[in-house]
């Protein structure tokens, strides 16, 4: 019979009792006003399961815990057999951090709506609660904006892509495209809400905006230059022209975004702006104020701290931790997503068969050992990042994300000290079978399956 020691992320407290309870079984749900936000208390006896929850998210998390206790087959899409049992006892649990996020870059490589819905399920199974959806970049624009149809008819695809990471002119010659309609996005938001996941959209400006410039050249630095949706990876030097008409354009874009996404936090990018001027900073500030005036909090990457006075924001600190301290001192909330620790597109080992090895080597253990280097009320939480230049399929996303995202879930949720030697067997013996049952094509602990390698495709390790 499965036991409480198998749970992932690890709960705050567990009291075991003799006996077991057949599963599935009716669950009596009660309000739990004594519990912290997102908290739950599960009392399992041979004849009865009572789930007390602080809020709908707490109820959701309690149900995920029940599913884990029932064993891996409880994660299959249909039940295979009866005879599942739960151990008896009491679990009391609540998260350590209130923002437990994962960024999914659907701009560089598109993920279909069905794939995004599946990813929401996987986040929810790990009690992660924010999907930061990176919708626009130099290499494609993915959100339909009815007022500006060329954003998706022109900006929604590119004619070719760089294969792996290199400086040469070679491309694959294969068109790549796709975008989400308004109805698709409303569906994703509703589905995520039912699973206690908030979808935080990101529209990146004033850099990483070349797809928008390709669609509407008057938004760019030189409208006659013939900018096309970029076929390379990297940082394009084509920035938005910080004119009043560009500001008006993006006010209208964000008004649409606000209509589709109820999230209290809305991403506006602000990262990697080569040659940024004071006017680019003003563009960013004006859009930030536009969001604030409409009751939302802008989320920007830590470079925005250099643009001058800003309204209260959430700052995604991806470079060094000093930016987190600075953001907090300036009165902003902070999400820690350090590139050298939590970028899951980076290679997982020095194994010679690691597919398209880019970035820092970040093992499962490195992720598990990550400790936020900021404390206090300004720390909202932590976020893992899945940039997708080198993830051209959902199978590649599975490989990059799992099982490192399982380790990240414990960093974000579990209180108290963590011990990798305790985590690893729990993951191997109890949690990987759950991922197998879910159909997740994770990276095996000792290296990729032959079909997960990409022989001959260059990476760029650091």
Active site residues: 272
* Stretch 330-369: interaction string toward ligand ACM, x if CB under 6 A: ---------x------------------------------
Q: Judged by CB, which is closer to ligand ACM: 16, or 340?
A: 340
Q: Judged by CB, which is closer to ligand ACM: 38, or 339?
A: 339
- For residue 66, give every residue at least 6 positions away whose Cβ sits within 8 Å of its Cβ, in sequence order, or none: 23, 27, 42, 49, 51, 86
Among 228, 272, 340, 353, binds ligand ACM (CB under 6 A): 272
* Stretch 286-305: interaction string toward ligand ACM, x if CB under 6 A: ---------------x----
Q: Judged by CB, which is closer to ligand ACM: 86, or 327?
A: 327
To ligand ACM, the closest distance from the beta carbon of 339 in angstroms equals 6
Q: Which residue is nearest to ligand ACM (CB)?
A: 271
Q: Judged by CB, which is closer to ligand ACM: 38, or 204?
A: 204
* Stretch 109-138: interaction string toward ligand ACM, x if CB under 6 A: ------------------------------
Q: Tokens 């390379």 — which residue? A: 232
Q: Judged by CB, which is closer to ligand ACM: 204, or 441?
A: 204
Count of residues that bind ligand ACM according to CB under 6 A = 5
Among 121, 271, 373, 436, binds ligand ACM (CB under 6 A): 271
Q: Rule CB under 6 A: is residue 233 a binding residue for ligand ACM?
A: no
- For residue 194, give every residue at least 6 positions away whose Cβ sits within 8 Å of its Cβ, in sequence order, or none: none
Q: Judged by CB, which is closer to ligand ACM: 131, or 435?
A: 131
* Stretch 24-63: interaction string toward ligand ACM, x if CB under 6 A: ----------------------------------------
To ligand ACM, the closest distance from the beta carbon of 315 in angstroms equals 11
Q: Tokens 């624009």 — which residue? A: 141
To ligand ACM, the closest distance from the beta carbon of 236 in angstroms equals 13
* CA–CA dist 129, 351 (Å, integer): 32
Q: Judged by CB, which is closer to ligand ACM: 99, or 318?
A: 318
To ligand ACM, the closest distance from the beta carbon of 189 in angstroms equals 23
Among 318, 370, 399, 442, binds ligand ACM (CB under 6 A): 318
To ligand ACM, the closest distance from the beta carbon of 295 in angstroms equals 25
Q: Judged by CB, which is closer to ligand ACM: 234, or 262?
A: 234
* CA–CA dist 68, 431 (Å, integer): 8
To ligand ACM, the closest distance from the beta carbon of 301 in angstroms equals 4
Residues that bind ligand ACM (CB under 6 A): 271-272, 301, 318, 339
């Amino acid at each position: 019979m499965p036991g409480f020691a198998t749970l992932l992320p690890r709960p705050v407290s567990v009291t075991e009792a003799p006996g077991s309870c057949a599963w599935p079984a009716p669950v009596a749900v009660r309000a739990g006003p004594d519990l912290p936000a997102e908290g739950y208390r599960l009392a399992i006896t041979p004849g009865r399961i009572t789930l007390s929850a602080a809020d709908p998210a707490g109820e959701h998390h309690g149900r995920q815990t029940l599913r884990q206790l029932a064993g891996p087959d409880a994660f299959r899409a249909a039940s295979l057999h009866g005879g599942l049992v739960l151990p008896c006892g009491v679990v009391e649990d609540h998260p350590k951090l209130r923002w437990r996020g994962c960024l999914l870059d659907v701009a560089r490589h598109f993920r279909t709506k069905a794939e995004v819905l599946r990813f929401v399920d996987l986040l929810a199974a790990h009690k992660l609660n924010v999907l930061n959806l990176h919708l626009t970049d130099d290499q494609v624009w993915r959100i339909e904006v009815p007022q500006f149809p060329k954003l998706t008819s022109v900006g929604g695809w590119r004619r070719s892509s760089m294969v792996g990471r290199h400086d040469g002119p070679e491309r694959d010659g294969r068109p790549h495209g796709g975008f989400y309609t308004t109805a698709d996005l409303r569906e994703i938001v509703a589905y995520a809400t039912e699973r206690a996941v908030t979808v935080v959209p990101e529209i990146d400006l004033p850099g990483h905006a070349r797809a928008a410039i390709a669609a509407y050249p008057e938004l760019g630095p030189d409208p006659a230059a013939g900018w096309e949706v970029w076929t390379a990876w990297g940082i394009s030097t084509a920035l938005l022209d910080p004119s009043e008409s560009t500001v008006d354009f993006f006010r209208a874009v964000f008004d649409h975004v606000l209509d589709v996404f109820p999230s209290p936090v809305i991403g506006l990018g602000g990262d990697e702006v080569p040659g940024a001027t004071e006017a680019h900073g003003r563009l960013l500030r004006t859009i930030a104020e536009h969001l604030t005036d409409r009751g939302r909090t802008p989320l920007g990457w830590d470079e925005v701290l250099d643009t001058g006075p800003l309204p209260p924001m959430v700052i995604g600190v991806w470079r060094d931790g000093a930016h987190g301290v600075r953001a907090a001192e300036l009165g902003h909330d902070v999400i820690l997503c350090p590139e050298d620790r939590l970028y899951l597109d980076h290679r997982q080992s020095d194994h010679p068969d690691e597919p398209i090895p880019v970035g820092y080597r970040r093992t499962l253990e490195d992720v598990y050992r990550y400790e936020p280097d900021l404390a206090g009320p300004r720390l909202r939480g932590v976020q893992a990042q899945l940039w997708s230049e080198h993830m051209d399929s959902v199978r590649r996303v599975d490989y990059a994300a799992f099982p490192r995202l399982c380790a990240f879930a414990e960093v974000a949720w579990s209180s108290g000290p963590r011990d990798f030697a305790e985590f690893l067997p729990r993951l191997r013996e109890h949690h990987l079978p759950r991922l197998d049952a879910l159909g997740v094509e994770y990276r095996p602990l000792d290296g990729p399956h032959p079909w997960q390698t990409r022989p001959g495709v260059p990476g760029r390790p650091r």
